[in-house]
């Protein structure tokens, strides 16, 4: 637990100092939403379904960047070796990296929600509160998957290219479930309409958090 | 007799078809220090990486505190400190923050106090709140030494510890090594040549064509040529 706290605190301190990840994530989310707003037909682009879709596209792109940054920060001066040499257990290291990626994604999502409300003429009301847990589940799933894949691809050539090629297809089930559950929440439909989709999101999170917890030790070890 | 801290048995390492280390049989008891001399590409860093558990041997095995180096758990890693070519320091953190982070990672009881004490020992008190990214290579090497030693490890693995240091820095590093040996730590250090490492008072070995042998002082070139001329009767 001490190692988890130390690594997470260090990652947040580095982020607060440079702001690299958060600024890039927010800028990317803004860019995606702007492109979609202008690309879509105004007659259909103002509904909750489209807004939810646009938000989740922004989530995927910003999540990709966030998860990669969390591990690439360790490549400076060989710091990843410093972590591997330390008594910190690999599961704690994964948990800390996952938590950092999740926090960065949630910050980007908060900004994304504000922009979505403005661009898609929505209201800040109870529907937004219902979207929040869906987005949190989506961010957790994506952060767990992308952190594991970033560790796998970190020593590969063209790792920046490999990560999206591997992560996006694997995230498709959660992406579909997230868009449907968010659209239901935004349109004010009862919880039962989104229950199955939320179930898929929870199953995805459990699967990849567990897989990351168990496999991180093997994929991060050198040689 | 105390159990060896480091023991290699027929240790070998190859990269593809290129053998770097061959049939290394080597034991180091607690409180002893060994300096491994060798040129570029001799396999010194590879040997240290294997002993630290960062790399697996291709043949044979390395036992650290009696445990296989391929499976060193947290209990064993807690007792190893390593100074490598790269400093393992975060450029955007200050010197103090870096040491506090590593002290916390190694479970040092009072991390801020330990960080302050080690900043003093390596002569970096005045730069404690500067970011490491602004440090010279020599300052970074001093701080990296403090990082490696902050948890007072029982085994110190030092890859060319005197490189990038000025005369004062080299004296300081030698003092740190002598102090580590005095408190009972075991030290394995590497160097390109004997003069770099002799002030640390370690047993000398050299890696020759992948094999580790006790170091033998080379004859100066002019003496060797003179002997050759005598043999040839010229």
User: What burial class does residue A79 get, using C-beta atoms within 10 Å of its C-beta: 0-12 exposed, 13-18 middle, 19+ buried?
Assistant: buried
Q: Chain A residues with CB inside 8 Å of B106's CB?
A: 86-87
Q: ipTM of this predicted complex?
A: 0.84
Per-residue confidence band for A181, with pLDDT thresholds at 50, 70 and 90: very high
CB contact under 8 A, B53 and A6: no
Q: Parallel, antiparallel, or unpaired for β B211-214 and B203-208?
A: antiparallel
pLDDT digits (tens, 9 = 90+) for B150-178: 999 999 999 999 888 888 988 899 899 99
Give the integer Cα–Cα distance in Å for B89 and B102: 9
CB contact under 8 A, B87 and A77: yes
Using CA coordinates, name the residue in chain B closest to A79: B88
Cβ neighbours for B65, distance < 8 A, ≥ 6 positions apart: B3, B5, B76, B79, B154, B155
The pLDDT of residue A187 is 84
- Which range of A45-54, A123-132, A149-158, B18-27 scores highest in mean pLDDT? It is B18-27
> What is the average per-residue pLDDT within B60-79?
91
- Which range of A65-74, A211-220, B140-149 scores highest in mean pLDDT? It is B140-149
User: What is the tally of helices (H) and strands (E) in chain B?
Assistant: 8, 10
CB contact under 8 A, B93 and A79: no
Chain position carrying tokens 């992308």: A146
> What is the average per-residue pLDDT within B80-96?
93
Q: Chain B residues with CB inside 8 Å of A14's CB?
A: 90, 92-93
Residue A15: name the closest of A4, A3, A23, A5 by CA: A23
CB contact under 8 A, B105 and A7: yes
Domain count, chain A: 1
Per-residue confidence band for A217, with pLDDT thresholds at 50, 70 and 90: confident
Give the integer Cα–Cα distance in Å for A51 and A116: 6
The pLDDT of residue B90 is 93
Residue A70: name the closest of A3, A139, A150, A142 by CA: A150
Q: Chain B residues with CB inside 8 Å of A1's CB?
A: none
Q: Chain B residues with CB inside 8 Å of A90's CB?
A: none
CB contact under 8 A, B87 and A6: no
Give the H/E segment covering residue B165.
none
Q: Chain A residues with CB inside 8 Å of B156's CB?
A: none
Of B85, B89, B106, the CB nearest to A86: B106
Give the integer Cα–Cα distance in Å for A196 and A191: 10
Per-residue confidence band for B47, with pLDDT thresholds at 50, 70 and 90: very high
The pLDDT of residue B88 is 93
Of A14, A81, A88, the CB nearest to B105: A88
Contact with chain A for residue B82, Cβ under 8 A: yes
Give the integer Cα–Cα distance in Å for B69 and B48: 11
Of A76, A87, A89, the CB nearest to B91: A76
Contact with chain A for residue B130, Cβ under 8 A: no
The pLDDT of residue B223 is 65
CB contact under 8 A, B92 and A222: no
- Closest-CA distance, B208 to chain A, in angstroms, reads 24
Token output for B77: 């890693």
Interface mutation vs chain B, best among A7, A9, A21, A85, most B CBs within 10 Å:
A85
Using CA coordinates, name the residue in chain B closest to A87: B74
Interface mutation vs chain A, best among B81, B90, B106, B147, most A CBs within 10 Å:
B90
Q: What is the edge-to-edge ordering of all strands in the sheet holding B211-214?
A: B80-83, B155-158, B186-191, B33-37, B203-208, B211-214
Using CA coordinates, name the residue in chain A closest to B150: A86
Phi, psi dihedrals of residue B44, rounded to the nearest 5°? -65, -50
- Helix H, strand E, coil C: the string for A127-142 is HHHHHHHHHHHHHHHH
Q: Chain A residues with CB inside 8 Å of B107's CB?
A: 2, 87
The pLDDT of residue A116 is 83
Residue B65: name the closest of B80, B55, B49 by CA: B80
Contact with chain A for residue B177, Cβ under 8 A: no
The pLDDT of residue A33 is 81
The pLDDT of residue A42 is 67
Contact with chain A for residue B16, Cβ under 8 A: no
Extract the runs of DSSP E, i.e. beta strands, from chain A: none
pLDDT digits (tens, 9 = 90+) for A2-45: 889 999 999 999 888 877 777 777 888 788 888 887 887 766 66
pLDDT digits (tens, 9 = 90+) for B177-226: 999 999 999 999 998 877 667 766 788 888 888 888 887 766 566 666 67
Of A78, A88, A223, the CB nearest to B55: A223
Per-residue confidence band for A164, with pLDDT thresholds at 50, 70 and 90: confident
What integer best gives the mean pLDDT of chain A?
A: 84
Give SS3 for A78.
helix
The pLDDT of residue B83 is 94
Domain of A82, in residue numbers: 2-220
Q: Chain B residues with CB inside 8 Å of A2's CB?
A: 104-105, 107
Per-residue confidence band for B144, with pLDDT thresholds at 50, 70 and 90: very high
């Amino acid at each position: 637990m001490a190692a988890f706290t130390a690594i997470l605190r260090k990652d947040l301190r580095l982020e607060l100092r440079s702001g690299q990840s958060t600024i890039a994530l927010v800028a990317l989310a803004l860019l995606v939403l702007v492109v979609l707003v202008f690309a879509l037909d105004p007659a259909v682009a103002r509904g909750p379904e489209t807004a939810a879709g646009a938000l989740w596209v922004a989530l995927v792109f910003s999540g990709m960047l966030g998860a990669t940054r969390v591990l690439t920060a360790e490549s400076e001066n060989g710091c990843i070796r410093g972590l591997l040499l330390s008594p910190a257990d690999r599961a704690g290291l994964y948990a800390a990296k996952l938590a950092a990626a999740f926090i960065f994604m949630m910050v980007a999502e908060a900004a994304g929600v504000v922009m979505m409300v403005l661009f898609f003429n929505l209201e800040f009301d109870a529907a937004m509160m219902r979207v929040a847990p869906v987005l949190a589940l989506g961010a957790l799933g994506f952060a767990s998957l992308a952190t594991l894949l970033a560790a796998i691809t970190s020593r590969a050539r063209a790792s920046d290219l490999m990560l999206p090629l591997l992560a996006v297809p694997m995230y498709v089930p959660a992406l579909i479930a997230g868009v449907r559950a968010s659209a239901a929440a935004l349109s004010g439909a009862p919880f039962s309409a989104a229950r199955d989709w939320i179930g898929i999101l929870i199953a995805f999170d459990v699967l990849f958090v567990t897989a990351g917890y168990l496999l991180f030790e093997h994929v991060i070890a050198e040689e | 007799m105390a159990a060896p801290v480091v023991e290699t048995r027929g240790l070998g390492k190859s990269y593809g078809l290129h053998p770097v280390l061959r049939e290394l049989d080597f034991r180091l008891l607690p409180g002893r220090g060994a300096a491994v001399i060798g040129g570029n590409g001799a396999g010194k860093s590879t040997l240290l990486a294997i002993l630290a558990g960062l790399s697996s041997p291709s043949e044979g095995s390395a036992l650290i505190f009696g445990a296989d180096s391929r499976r060193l758990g947290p209990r064993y890693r807690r007792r190893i400190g390593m100074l490598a070519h790269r400093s393992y320091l975060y450029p955007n953190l200050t010197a103090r923050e870096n040491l506090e982070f590593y002290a916390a990672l190694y479970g040092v009881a009072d991390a801020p106090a330990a960080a302050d004490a080690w900043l003093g020992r390596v002569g970096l008190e005045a730069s404690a709140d500067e970011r490491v990214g602004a440090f010279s290579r020599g300052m970074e090497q001093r701080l990296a030494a403090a990082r490696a030693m902050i948890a007072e490890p029982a085994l110190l693995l030092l890859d060319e510890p005197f490189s990038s240091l000025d005369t004062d820095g080299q004296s300081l590093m030698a003092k740190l090594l002598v102090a580590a040996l005095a408190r009972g730590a075991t030290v394995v250090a590497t160097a390109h040549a004997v003069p770099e490492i002799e002030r640390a008072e370690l047993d000398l070995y050299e890696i020759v064509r992948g094999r580790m042998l006790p170091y033998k002082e080379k004859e100066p070139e002019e003496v060797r040529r003179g002997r050759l001329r005598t043999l040839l009767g010229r």
